[in-house]
Structure 1
């Protein structure tokens, strides 16, 4: 088949599996012209969203379409999300509604009893006939009267205020320049502002790896030959470790070629050719340039430039590094590789005889070549644990190389060990016969190939080691450290292989050498269950000994875990005991399942962050979804509740904006209930003094204006501007974030306290004015009427609740002062204008509109009496005195990190706040900033003696298995 016309003549039948969401497997077969069937697997499948490369066209047949594609099978419907605070508020509204109904029932009973006892003695009271029927009717009508009278106990304006505050908070987040990413010209974007407060309560973060934690770039940074390390580059993890030790490292400089971060005066620009070990360095670079499956292509726009096409980013980085250091890979055919060395300036051709593929079991890749001198050689690169076991006895520099591997691994580098050996012609010919037979086998082909490969990969000579940085995004290790100090558990969910995922875990400080690393493995339920139970026992011992453990599990194992409930619960318990969890080789749907499992079974807010289309399901499944607008497109960012430019901005989003929003929204909700109950409960106290008639103490317009005008602005300023601690202090003290985990600012106890306080304030604001002004007489002999008393009570409530919000304010600004005073002045301006208008209307008998304010300003002149102002001042002082002393007592006596950080921050200039500063002397050590004490590594290893501890040397190699088969197909297609 060479063109579309040939394909149109083809008569074939494709049989395949039912549509499913498994991205890494596919089973099918094709029958051409009703002849024998040929198997189809995942290597023959192009997924929706794939890009066509290295060819102008292909011919294929569609097997899945629309919602049956594997990608669509991994997506879920967009769920409706609500914050934990909002859900709790909805429940509390029912409690207030029940409280309101109880008040109505009490007043109804009081009205009926009062009518029975006083029907004859109070002729002016519209009492019913003492028959059961009339009393029942009175009770029924009274209940609804009181329900209307107390209807504003539930703050209807709460949701309007809440949405306005969230919108402004979202705008502030999007305008934060410290979350602006210049390279991508992206700012923080808020798409679901109703979850702002949820950002302040996150306990679990589920993160993708590629493009989220890493830049998706491999950089050749260091290597070592004959125990001599080369390369002066500094990794992000090394920079982070130095920062924690108080050492400031210079920034990386762009030395030499701008295509390579590697720099060493002894190597670059061909300087290695003058070194004493030049031949060893040459052997190392030649191995990098020959032992791979990379295909070179000429750039269409710049034919002199060669573009390396590689399925493995590691191989691309190694080949590019070899080129820039003097050994250039120029071309390849199906059986030859051509390179050019800077020391000779001549092209050299190596004949490729066999490629021994990389597999997850072998953890190495080898090629058998015939060099330009005609010698047979085996070139190998792979994991230290495998390659070192294949070295010849009495190998030089073996222990020293192991030490260097550990040093590179501690810097977060991905390491490979390179080795070679000369082959005997006769031995090779005999071995090649067995190898070809194994390749043609239909039964256990992979295992047979591995067995034959093991026969020739022996007695190797150590050539060197390479160290590649899977470049982390800037600030990732520090961000993960600070989020960990905030007691947030971080799980990494990635489609990468186990070694790659573990290496990144070490690179970004999720894992370290002091941890016990538990690998959950198993091919069936029994094996997985035993692995989980054993790991649970070890993790429990580790927790008792204050040691840390990490867990690594693959997607194939997760499939078994999700089949049974007891396995899921074991997995959850183990995850809670682990400092870090890494799930590798997981599909998008499995990512969502893991998030949902934690979300549905554990108490705590979950957050998922990713940058690609395969992260959308996970982002939508979490309580809060955060997308990174990165190189993989905007699918994740558009599907998320929030989007940021880099992972490091998550720290500020949570520790600063999330914490602020949680506290502010909590204050807004609590204050909204408080102010409404403080005012409208005065109606209840008045009912007890007006014979249960249901008469309102307050004018209907003042009731309407209370939430709409007089108290709206101050609480809005509090919920948008107020800061209990500075942003830099919040970042430097991530432990304060735990207030959200513990619901410090909004819980049933706090809510009950505010409600009790509002009842107390309403009683003070009613009874004090009543006692002070009950027998007050005005000019002309008039005594105070109910409307004048209502205005006085209203004034006391308004000033009290306004002063209360001033007490709740932590950072007093000019905005607070203006809106607080404006609220009080607006009330008095309203009364003067409103009362004056209706006094004039009353003189002309036009008082049909309202009678409440008739005569207040002229006949009674309440505002012009000294007793009124004395009463208002006395009432407010009596109401708020308890609040003031309680706050002072708590702040001065509580051994609380929060109050001590606030006190310390206020005594220091801003430039000191920008850094971590010590707490005041004399504060008990148990409340000081929690930082981990050094762990004795020997005691850790003794604790985990029954566990296979990973002695991490940094091995990671991203390579598609059966790559040689794909390489042959691609090379044949280019001929």
Structure 2
């Protein structure tokens, strides 16, 4: 595929043709099925994919090999297989081979079943999507089939409210001029409707099923790609070539709105469609603790090898000295030398000590993860009763990472907001009307029309009464403006008016005007008809001055039935107020009202009008007509004329529209901030809308300094200059550490960043731009050698990330799904932070897959986000409980579980090493084989299991009251290499005490029953270690339940039960080689001397822990909770005012203007393209 897209609109140029390598022939399945493309050496595959999608990872044939391959990426599993292979050699085996094979098989089976269950869910969701109904042209008629049956080149019929199943060229529709209205909220997050229009030739020629069946046009376009907002190609039909662009294409995932029927030619299907190209791949996610455990396994294995090697070398020296001392036993050693014995003992010790990495720990971990996931599923505080949607943990292996999140990347539309716009307040002629007393929607007298339920608007009773009195001329003009100045289309369905609005803001205003008695009835190409308190009036539309993002306003020039010409204008306060004829008391009150509306984070628009004389209109109209037919600079000339007309306005008032947030969104974000979690909003919506929502959800505050793209560039330039001066002439600094030379580059709570997708592209592709010698966006960054371009690009990335992460809030607007994922990847790459992404639509899938934790909002229109997520929630507000309660508890429980498990393993089994020093380094086991097998499974696992399942340091309520407690997980304080080292030393100390006190006791003394034998010694050491471990776990447990007591009791009962069974005389008689400790526990533990030794060992092992606990309680540092209280009391007020690096805009008052609209609708109306014939009156 060519590196650069051909210029749209110039398809006939010969230089563009090679770029169009994707050829689609209408109604020619055979061609697309036979087409192949090379992908490796001489191999080829189908060029055109089917429309079926597959997010599942396995099938019947690939499940076993792929799942095993993934599982053996865990170092522990590789280690266990290695030890099992060693056990198959009888010369070196000290334990039966099946002692590890059975638990390893159980572990692989449990994880495999979990992965299988997860994948079955993905198969079901894939089947649900692929089985959606559609209508495909087959022969000369449309047949009802499934999405999966669609092929490239097919013609598909879509009906109103249906989703687009593939990327299609719009051929024609039931709307005038073959317009088609689509909602792209699931793709780019924008809620306003967008229009697409078919080519004139297909609109005119393809009016019947027979003509479509005979259609044999060929589309040549670019190869499948991820660029959502661009498309370039041509349609060749009947010897003519027609240019195609993105305005002619319907993308998969769009929803058909306000259009009864449309027809499309499939260009890209399935995974070739643009939205699927933006979805990314499913990757197995590992938690930070998982990765740490992999490294610890390597460390423990190396320690084990070093220990085994030392003991093996010692065994060689001991064997040689023993043979020299006892030469009369030479016949016993005639077949082995000391070196051979050392070699065999090395592997024997490796097998004997292999239980230091207990497989049961991994099995227990899986169970803990599973149960903690059930706790999330069962939490009624995260149950959304309105739609009967509970929280769901779709992944069961990431719970602990929920307690370590540092950055949350959130979508806006459908995640923070409800996608509902409602007219809330207004200020007219200096009077503010608010919701105050809510009045039911009554039928304005004489309107003679009923309203659809969706259109009902609640308004202030005072405003309704004032409108019906009709005594205020300014209010009358204000309501007329609402009913006249818009691009809404209307359809009269008998006794019901149905509005078709491209903008939810405009729909809310027109509905409010209708509720107040000014009903928009109909429009034609040059007229608009409204009902004013029951009186029908038709206005002649002389001109529509269209909205765009630069003008931030739209106007309509109309002639009323009396012949008076008036201009009605609505737009941002920043542009309307500076175009007023004068300022008076009414204008001052309106400005104060705008301040109040902004404080309530409502979306504001100012309304103004003026009367235009006939002479002025005739002169302006003549120049306007001349400008509309210009071939060059048409847009610039029209903007100049619009500017000229929109002067000397009279302010009528201002409106305030509420973009409804989901419940408790601001409170949730504030709570997350207190937990040191930074929230970034990534949206495809416009900047004004994103900023307005930022203020509404308290992500942005009035005292924040906003850094926009200009200021960010200046800060990055200052950083580059300072580092360049330190590191050399024009080269990247040798150190990757960024030393910001400017004090304002440090972390400020009062700073926020707002950037666009285009600016982000400059950051992300800085290295590529340098390498390709394209236009360089950073003039202060010199172009270096090609080899250093990537290094310089990475430096720009890191500088930006350091700046962004030092700010309290970041908002990225106009970003594509791929850019969302790249932002997440950027933070993960440069900050090594744990990230969470949350969204509800297909445009969030890639971001959700890229983040360490992906959360899907369920219950809304799209299911793609939930299908690819790790956790599904019904509301954004449930995130606070998921992280601050379940996440923090899970991290606490897993960390404490790992500490306890490693401690009990080292404390109980390291005695094998000390015993080697007293058994001639012969790799002889100290303990009974059954004790080794059952120690980690039954004797000590249940108390640590209760810790992993139920441990709490504070209650759920306190966790939410003190979100600062969450920072412990972010800082890895509960389990790290230092904690592991301390646990290792603690366990080694316990094992030393247990072994040598027993050895000292058995060395020169015997009890009343002469229990000085090896078996009794083994039992004494085992019981001492076991009880010491249980007491230590009891002391370390903070949250006790009946289950906790039961677990400790069950452990002791299991020890007694299995000791009786495995050490019985009957068992010894049946299999003396397997049950080789007959009556050992009964002989030892009925002797008072042995019991005294056990008690002494227990006291010696417990005293250090009790001492540490007492020391911390008396003279140690205050607890986290105490620190939080002290911090709240001692937090000083900031002594200086924080200022941005570059000054913000010149406006003293923050504008809360936001308006969802797409440029071009006014042109459609004035050309008559969007008007049905029956709409005329």
The one of 266, 272, 287 aligned to 1:83: 287
Distance change in 2, residues 1:700/1:141 (3 Å): same
Q: Residues 858 and 874 of structure 2 are in contact (CA less than 8 Å); yes or no, is this contact kept in structure 1?
A: yes
Matched residue SS, 2:250: coil
The runs of 5 or more residues in structure 1 that have no matched partner are 234-251, 902-917, 920-924
The equivalent residue for 1:826 is 1054
TM-superposed deviation, 1:359? 0.5
Q: Deviation digits for residues 612-669 of structure 1, max 9, x if unmatched?
A: 1111111001000000003222211111000000000000000000000011111122
Paired residues for 1:528-547 under 5 Å: 541-542=743-744, 546=748
**Residue 94 (structure 1) aligned with residue 316 (structure 2):** no
- Alignment correspondent of 2:141: none
Q: Deviations over 1:677-726 (max 9, x none)?
A: 11111111111112222221111011101112112221111111111110
Partner of 1:187: 390
Work out the CA distance in 2 between the residues paired with 1:959 and 1:539. Answer: 43
Please say if 1:963 is aligned against 2:1161.
yes
3-state SS of the aligned residue for 1:879? Answer: helix
State whether structure 2 residue 295 is matched by structure 1 residue 73. Answer: no
CA offset digits 1:909-933 (Å, max 9, x no partner): xxxxxxxxx94xxxxx3x4479795
Question: In the alignment, which residue of structure 1 is the partner of 2:404?
Answer: 201
The match for 2:133 is none
Structure 1 contact 521–557 (Cα < 8 Å) conserved: no
Greater CA drift, 892-901 or 804-813: 892-901
Q: In structure 1, what is the equivalent of residue 940 of structure 2?
A: 711
Partner of 1:238: none
1:571-626 CA distances to partner (integer Å, 9 max, x unpaired)? 21221122111111111111111111111221210000000111111100100000
In structure 2, C-alpha distance between the alignment counterparts of 1:533 and 1:180, rounded to whole Å: 50
- Go from structure 1 to structure 2 and tell me whether the alpha carbon gap of 1:547 and 1:67 turns closer, same or farther (over 3 Å shift): closer
Structure 1 residue 893, shift from structure 2 partner: 3.7
Secondary structure at the aligned position of 1:337 is classed as strand
Asked if the contact 2:282–2:849 (Cα under 8 Å) also holds between the matched residues in 1, the reply is yes
Indicate if the aligned counterparts of 2:751 and 2:1140 stay in contact, CA closer than 8 A: no
Greater mean deviation of Cα atoms: 18-27 or 372-381: 18-27
Cα 1:444–1:931 change in 2 (3 A) is: farther
Rounded Cα–Cα distance in structure 2 between residues aligned with 1:569 and 1:26: 32
Rounded Cα–Cα distance in structure 2 between residues aligned with 1:623 and 1:461: 54
CA contact (8 A) 1:521 1:531 kept: no
The 1:748–1:475 alpha-carbon spacing in structure 2 relative to 1, beyond 3 Å, is: same
1:531, 1:14 → 2: CA distance? Answer: 50
2:1037 is aligned to: 809
The answer to whether the 8 Å contact 2:754/2:810 transfers is yes
Alignment partners' CA distance in 2, 1:78 and 1:809: 38
- Indicate how the Cα distance of structure 1 residues 676 and 171 shifts in structure 2: closer, same or farther if over 3 A, else same: same
Q: Deviations over 1:505-555 (max 9, x none)?
A: 111111122111122169xx9999759979999995446595521111111
Instruction: State the distance in 2 between where 1:126 and 1:701 align.
Output: 34
Instruction: Give the aligned partner of residue 614 of structure 2.
Output: 425
Q: Which residue of 1 aligns with 2:1072?
A: 848
- What is the DSSP-based 3-state SS (H/G/I as helix, E as strand, rest coil) of the residue aligned with 1:26? coil
Q: CA RMSD in A?
A: 2.9
Confirm or deny: 8 A CA contact 2:678 2:808 kept in the other structure.
Answer: yes
Q: Secondary structure at the match of 1:267?
A: helix
Deviation for aligned residue 1:810: 1.1
**CA distance 1:285–1:583, shift in 2 (3 Å):** same
Cα distance in 2 for residues equivalent to 1:208 and 1:452: 39
**CA shift at 1:447, angstroms?**
2.5
Distance 1:929 1:435, change over 3 A: farther
| Structure 1 residue 369 corresponds to structure 2 residue 558 | yes
Gap regions ≥5 residues in structure 2: 1-203, 443-452, 723-737, 767-792
Moved more, 490-499 or 332-341: 332-341
CA contact (8 A) 2:916 2:923 kept: yes
Q: 1:825 to 1:195 in 2, by over 3 A?
A: same
Give the structure-2-normalised TM-score.
0.74
CA distance in 1, matches of 2:713, 2:807: 22
CA contact (8 A) 2:231 2:246 kept: yes
Aligned match of 1:223 = 426
CA distance in 2, matches of 1:667, 1:459: 72
After superposition, the Cα gap between the structure-2 partners of 1:953 and 1:864, relative to the gap in structure 1 and judged at 3 Å, is: same
Contact 1:110–1:692 at 8 Å: present in 2 too? yes
Please name the residue that 1:239 is paired with.
Answer: none
Deviations 1:792-826 (A, max 9, x none): 11111111111221122111111111111220122
Q: Aligned partners of 1:545 and 1:7: how far apart in 2?
A: 62
SS at match of 2:604: strand
Residues 947 and 359 from structure 1, CA distance in 2 versus in 1: closer, same or farther, beyond 3 angstroms?
closer
Deviation, 1:271, is 4.3
Cα distance per residue 1:443-486 (max 9 Å; x no partner): 33332321221111110000100001110001000000110111
Aligned residues: 915
Alignment of 1:271-282 (within 5 A): 271-274=466-469, 278-282=472-476
The reply on whether 1:267 has 2:463 as its aligned counterpart is yes
Partners of 2:1032 and 2:938 lie apart in 1 by: 17
TM-aligned CA distance change 1:107 to 1:822, over 3 Å: same
- Deviation (angstroms), 1:194: 0.6
Change (3 A) 1:53 1:22: same
Query: Does structure 1 residue 885 correspond to structure 2 residue 1107?
Result: yes
Distance 2:958 2:873 in 1: 22
SS of 2:267's equivalent in the other structure is: coil
Following superposition, the deviation at residue 407 of structure 1 comes to 1.4
Offset of residue 420 of structure 1: 0.5
CA distances 1:72-95 after superposition (whole Å, capped 9, x unpaired): 221111111010011101101111
The TM-score normalised by the length of structure 1 is 0.89
- Does the aligned pair in 2 maintain the 1:897–1:928 contact within 8 Å? no
What SS class does the counterpart of residue 1061 from structure 2 fall into? helix
Question: Residue 866 of structure 1: which of 1073, 1088, 1107 is its match?
Answer: 1088
1:400 equivalent in alignment to 2:589: yes
Q: Residues 876-895 of structure 1: CA distance to partner in whole angstroms, max 9, x if unpaired?
A: 22112211221332344444
Residue 480 (structure 2) aligns with: 286
- Between 1:560-569 and 1:707-716, the stretch displaced more is 560-569
Could you say which residue in structure 2 is the equivalent of 1:236?
none
Correspondence for 2:1120: 898
- 1:249-648 → structure 2 map (5 Å cutoff): 262-268=458-464, 270-274=465-469, 278-299=472-493, 303-342=494-533, 345-520=534-709, 541-542=743-744, 546=748, 548-564=750-766, 565=793, 566-648=795-877
Question: What's the secondary structure of 1:417's corresponding residue?
Answer: strand
The match for 1:3 among 180, 198, 208 is: 208
Q: Give the SS at the match of 2:1025.
A: helix
Which residue of structure 1 aligns with residue 42 of structure 2? Answer: none
Which is further off, 944-953 or 310-319? 944-953
In the TM superposition, 1:12-23 aligns within 5 A as 14-23=219-228
Partner SS for 1:730: helix
Query: Which one of 344, 368, 382 corresponds to residue 141 of structure 1?
Result: 344
SS of residue in 1 equivalent to 2:700: coil
Contact between 2:459 and 2:512, CA under 8 Å: does it hold in 1?
A: no
Q: 322-331 vs 490-499, which deviates more?
A: 322-331
CA contact (8 A) 2:705 2:1140 kept: no
Q: In the superposition, relative to structure 1, how do residues 841 and 399 fare at CA in structure 2: closer, same or farther (>3 Å)?
A: closer
Aligned in 2, Cα 1:897/1:611: closer, same or farther, shift over 3 Å? farther
Given the superposition, is the C-alpha separation of residues 545 and 480 from structure 1 closer, same or farther in structure 2, using an over 3 Å criterion? closer
| Stretch moving more, 505-514 or 197-206 | 505-514
Q: C-alpha displacement at 1:8, in angstroms?
A: 5.5
Q: Is the 8 A contact 1:532 1:571 kept in 2?
A: no
